[in-house]
A = this chain, B = another copy of it.
Amino acid sequence: MIIDVHGHYTTAPAELRAWRQRQIAAIGSPFNEPLTISDDQLRQTLEAGQIKLQRDRGTDVTLFSPTAGGMEHHVGTFETSLQWSRTVNDLIYRVCTLYPENFIPVCQLPQSPGVDPATCIEELERCVNQLGFVGCNLNPDPSDGYWTDPPMTNRYWYPLYEKLVELDVPAMIHVSGSCNPNFHGTGAHYINGDTTFFMQLILADLLKDFPALKFIIPHGGGAVPYHWGRYRGIAQDAGRPAPEELMRNVWFDTCVYHQKGVETLVEVMGPDNVIFASEMIGAVRGVDARTGRYFDDTKPYVDALNLSEADRGTIFEGNAFKAYPRLAKKLARQ
């Protein structure tokens, strides 16, 4: 089975964006309008989009979450973020109920800059316990480009980590868009967020404090595999454990859009720490004229590596079951 752990509902019907715009326009006054999108509309966007690509590319199931760039945790108050998160999580739930063989739900959290992350627990529990979600996306910068909250290794975040461990779901560390004109969203803020988080892990005892906590770092772990010597050296100079030790709890996904990059990822980190993903339909939507394939069609890059069948299975399937413990039951139930 080929499991893509990183897909976003970026193709949602325009009604979703329109609803969101009305919600934002109403900030400060009551807004209770329900989101109205029919099942047929959902089917249309998915069958022309993600399901078609699954079929074309030969992947079986996608762990599916709301658009990362649309989380926009900086907008409004915690209540704004909560209402938005519930709305998009419910939409993801509907998608996964319509196509249980294609999509497994992963939720957005109602984060808000400066607001205690414990406030996210109620929505996390609702998604996992009531709606069968298997993971969440956790934004390391709820300010969306200004990094004003404490580092992810700060005890500020610990109540949320306790709940993740209790529920046995991992977090994909995933920024949202960038309000900072210095940082392009998918080209800078995304990659910087991944790199920044891994460097935070190196310097802190977070994974010692939570040995069962699991993280997926998307986009190939940001810059980390390419600079693995730097991270090993910085850890050593700082008297910290070797970064390899972090990799008991951490996986880097394969959202790296060229052959040499994926080769570097797998060779440096090893198959046990690489988890298959495409981010589709997401950051890069075009077809590479050089290969005639979509940039984000990541399966051929992995296929082209000189790997044993066992290692290939670890990347395409095995690591997903390890990183997302609830996934096995979820797939068996269908």
Contact = CB atoms under 8 A, between A and B. Distances in A.
Interface of A: 140-141, 145-147, 149-151, 180-184, 186-188, 191-192, 195-196, 199-200, 202-203, 219-220, 222-223, 225-234, 236-237, 256-258, 260-261, 264-265, 267-268, 283-286, 288, 295-296
Contacts of A196: 182-184, 188, 192
24 contacts: A149-B182, A150-B181, A150-B182, A151-B182, A182-B196, A186-B230, A186-B234, A187-B202, A187-B234, A188-B195, A191-B230, A192-B195, A220-B227, A226-B264, A227-B256, A228-B258, A228-B261, A229-B288, A229-B295, A232-B257, A233-B285, A233-B286, A233-B295, A260-B268
Contacts of A200: 182, 184, 188
Contacts of A223: 191, 195, 222-223, 226
A237 B285 contact: yes
A166 to B, nearest CB: 26
Contacts of A234: 184, 186-187, 283-284
Contact of A288 (B147, B181, B183, B233): B233
Number of copies: 2
Nearest to A146: B146
A74 B222 CA distance: 27
B256 A230 contact: yes
Contacts of A219: 227, 230
A187 B231 contact: yes
Given A182-B196, A184-B196, 8 more contacts: A186-B230, A187-B234, A192-B192, A219-B230, A229-B284, A229-B288, A230-B284, A230-B295
A191 B146 contact: no
